[in-house]
Chains A and B, each alone.
Chain A
Amino acid sequence: SQQGEEDPQALSIQEGENATMNCSYKTSINNLQWYRQNSGRGLVHLILIRSNEREKHSGRLRVTLDTSKKSSSLLITASRAADTASYFCATPTGGGSEKLVFGKGTKLTVNP
């Protein structure tokens, strides 16, 4: 059951530029999470935004959430080559379950 869908599927930028990735979802949520995956590795949690929050910052990351449009965006400012990875949004399946549904991810390449 696919909940989050990231856009674009792939993004290539130069070091120092900003990268923006979007996520759309279908049902009501109480939070939305973003994860990063370096090539061939496990996922690492980046940031969680709750449904009553509109924006959240963590270092060079900025996440927004628009519950009326059922969408979120992840902005990475002043990107570095080390930011090259796939980025996934994830939302709880609901009903009090601990399960998450992940989107298919945005593959970000930051060129030095």
Chain B
Amino acid sequence: DVKVTQSSRYLVKRTGEKVFLECVQDMDHENMFWYRQDPGLGLRLIYFSYDVKMKEKGDIPEGYSVSREKKERFSLILESASTNQTSMYLCASSSTGGHRDEQFFGPGTRLTVL
């Protein structure tokens, strides 16, 4: 069974802290994505990675960075967390072959920045 896991379901951090959100997929997918989801705004793409060490900015990359050192792992980093980064963060992965286009999502991390 395909699986995307995220390191935490709920996270509470303080303003100014460095925050790491981890995502791991076991499907050998080439592509991995980080989204944030806010009421009334839907899903917005933060960053996208199409290969190890490769990344591409999404629609709202400001205040975030990413790391992809291994194919199965894609990390989202908040260098200095701010209250406006309180949100639900969703990781997803997809393949460039087979069931291409379909994205598989993790359960989400609800981050609160105080």
- Could you tell me which A residues sit within 8 Å of B by CB distance? 1-2, 31, 33, 35, 40-45, 48, 88, 90, 92, 98-105
How many B residues have CB within 8 A of the partner chain?
28
How far is A101 from B108 in the complex, measured between Cα atoms in Å? 18
Instruction: For the complex formed, measure the closest distance between the CB of A81 and the CB atoms of chain B, giving whole angstroms.
Output: 21
Q: Are the C-beta atoms of B101 and A104 separated by less than 8 Å?
A: no
Q: Is the interface of A mostly helix, strand, loop or mixed?
A: strand
Q: Are the C-beta atoms of B105 and A99 separated by less than 8 Å?
A: no
Instruction: Give chain B interface residues in 89-113, CB to chain A under 8 Å.
Output: 90, 92, 94, 96, 100-108, 110
- Could you tell me which B residues sit within 8 Å of A by CB distance? 4, 31, 33, 35, 40-43, 45, 48, 50, 58-59, 88, 90, 92, 94, 96, 100-108, 110
A43 contact set on B, CB distance < 8 A: 43, 90, 92, 103, 105
A33-B102, A98-B31, A98-B101 known; A40 vs B110 contact (CB < 8 Å): yes
A41 contact set on B, CB distance < 8 A: 107-108
B96 contact set on A, CB distance < 8 A: 98
